[in-house]
């Protein structure tokens, strides 16, 4: 029987259990994968806590629950209304489905055929399991919404995260300037080596002053922020007139004050965003996947893996992610 990971109580990774389960038969429109690698995501901590935020609001998992939505593997069975030519294909899953229903972490996963995509052959299995979520997230924020272009000044918060690293690649690909923001100096040199034009160390430098210095006083047109909280006031103060701040997370866990004075005075746009915006429109989804796939296939975008763990060390993988030591993706590999 395949081993799967399930959440048995709300709290943290300590409530995850690896257990044997009967092999599933894919339902109509579904495929079954033999999983080879799985991406570990920070938003799964809110899933484990029992208050997971999706594009449609808060969702409480039904215990015991599987979790996970990013895997790479081989299609080994298909359900009704699915072309049998899918069998044997190596695919990665695109996020955007209910992990409470279609959790993927384990040796086997059943997912809707629409989220299974063949991936560029140059990728390792670990890279294949971990590139769609960050790159599609950045596409929505920086291409679909803000339309970054040559000459733009872009501030990227939590720059050492998988989304932050993807954002640096998007900004450089567009001919814009990538200003990476990280909490401590430990990751500064590596961020520079990975393509950031400038790095601001938030715990040691004044954000607004450094932005003023880097931009010669003009401020940044685009700010890409997953943190929220009191920091938003500084982000607004450092924005250029007519600038836009994309808020796509709430990592601070603190109340987020509305910076009314700079928003009004500079005519700023403060824009909330989730990946659901990309997936709600089939045309946008197709454009996003095409944009990302082409750049991964030709080497312009390179998914970075920070560390891999075997399935037996699933809890350790989440603990490592929680420690914030990583630069890039944490991946669970399954031989």
The 10s digit of each residue's pLDDT in 204-229 is 999 999 999 999 999 999 999 999 99
From 24-38, 40-54, 286-300, 307-321, the region with the lowest mean pLDDT: 40-54
Instruction: Return the CATH class of domain 3-130+305-333.
Output: alpha beta
Confidence band for 57, pLDDT divided at 50, 70 and 90:
low
Residues 111 and 30 sit within 8 Å (Cβ to Cβ): yes
Do the two domains 3-130+305-333 and 133-277 of this chain adopt the same fold?
A: no
Confidence band for 28, pLDDT divided at 50, 70 and 90:
very high
Domain map of the chain by residue range? 3-130+305-333, 133-277
Q: What's 163's DSSP letter?
A: H
136-164 mean pLDDT? 97
The per-residue pLDDT of the chain, averaged, comes to 94
* Other CB atoms within 10 Å distance of the CB of residue 151: 10
Whether the predicted pLDDT of 201 surpasses 80: yes
Residues 48 and 114 sit within 8 Å (Cβ to Cβ): no
Instruction: Return the CATH class of domain 133-277.
Output: alpha beta
156-167 mean pLDDT? 96
Confidence band for 53, pLDDT divided at 50, 70 and 90:
low
Rounded Cα gap, residues 321 and 308, in angstroms: 11
Whether the predicted pLDDT of 156 surpasses 90: yes
Whether the predicted pLDDT of 89 surpasses 90: yes
Confidence band for 55, pLDDT divided at 50, 70 and 90:
low
Whether the predicted pLDDT of 95 surpasses 80: yes
Could you write out the DSSP letters of every residue in 208-269? HHHHHHHTTT--EEEEEES--TTHHHHHHHTEEEEEEEEE---TT-S-----HHHHHHHT-E
Closest CA to 272 of 290, 288, 255, 249: 249
Residues 168 and 187 sit within 8 Å (Cβ to Cβ): no
**Three-state secondary structure of 202-225:** CCCCCHHHHHHHHCCCCCEEEEEE
pLDDT one-digit tens code per residue, 130-142: 999 999 999 999 9
Give the rounded percent of residues in the chain with a pLDDT score beyond 70: 98
- At residue 54, the pLDDT reads 58
| Long-range contacts of 202-211, Cβ-Cβ distance < 8 Å, separation of 24 or more | 207/181, 207/231, 207/234, 207/235, 207/238, 208/234, 208/237, 208/238, 211/155, 211/179, 211/238
Residues 67 and 122 sit within 8 Å (Cβ to Cβ): no
């Amino acid at each position: 029987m395949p081993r799967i990971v399930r959440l048995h109580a709300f709290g943290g990774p300590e409530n995850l259990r690896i257990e044997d389960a009967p092999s599933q038969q894919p339902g109509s429109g579904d495929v079954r994968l033999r999983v080879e690698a799985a991406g570990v995501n920070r938003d799964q901590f809110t899933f484990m806590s029992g208050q997971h935020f999706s594009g449609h609001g808060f969702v409480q998992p039904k215990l015991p629950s599987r979790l996970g939505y990013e895997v790479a593997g081989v299609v080994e069975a298909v359900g009704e209304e699915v072309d049998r030519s899918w069998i044997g294909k190596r695919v990665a899953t695109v996020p955007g489905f209910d992990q409470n229903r279609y959790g993927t972490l384990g040796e086997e996963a059943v997912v809707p055929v629409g989220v299974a995509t063949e991936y560029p052959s140059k990728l390792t299995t670990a890279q294949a399991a971990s590139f769609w979520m960050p790159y599609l997230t950045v596409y929505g924020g920086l291409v679909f919404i803000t339309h970054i272009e040559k000459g733009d000044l872009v501030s990227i918060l939590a720059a050492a995260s998988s989304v932050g690293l993807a954002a640096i690649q998007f900004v450089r690909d567009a001919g814009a300037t990538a200003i990476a923001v990280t909490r401590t100096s430990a990751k500064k040199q590596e961020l520079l080596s990975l393509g950031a034009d400038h790095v601001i160390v938030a715990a040691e430098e004044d954000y607004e002053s450094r932005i003023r210095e880097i931009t010669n006083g003009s401020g940044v047109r685009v700010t890409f922020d997953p943190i929220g909280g009191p920091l938003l006031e500084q982000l607004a103060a450092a924005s250029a007139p007519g600038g836009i701040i994309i808020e796509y997370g709430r990592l601070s866990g603190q109340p987020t004050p509305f910076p009314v004075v700079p928003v009004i005075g500079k005519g700023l746009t403060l824009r909330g965003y989730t990946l659901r915006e990309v997936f709600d429109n089939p045309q946008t989804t197709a454009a996003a996947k095409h944009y990302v796939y082409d750049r991964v296939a030709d080497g312009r975008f390179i998914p970075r893996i920070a560390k891999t763990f075997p399935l037996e060390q699933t809890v350790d993988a989440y603990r490592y992610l929680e420690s914030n030591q990583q630069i890039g993706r944490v991946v669970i590999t399954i031989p």
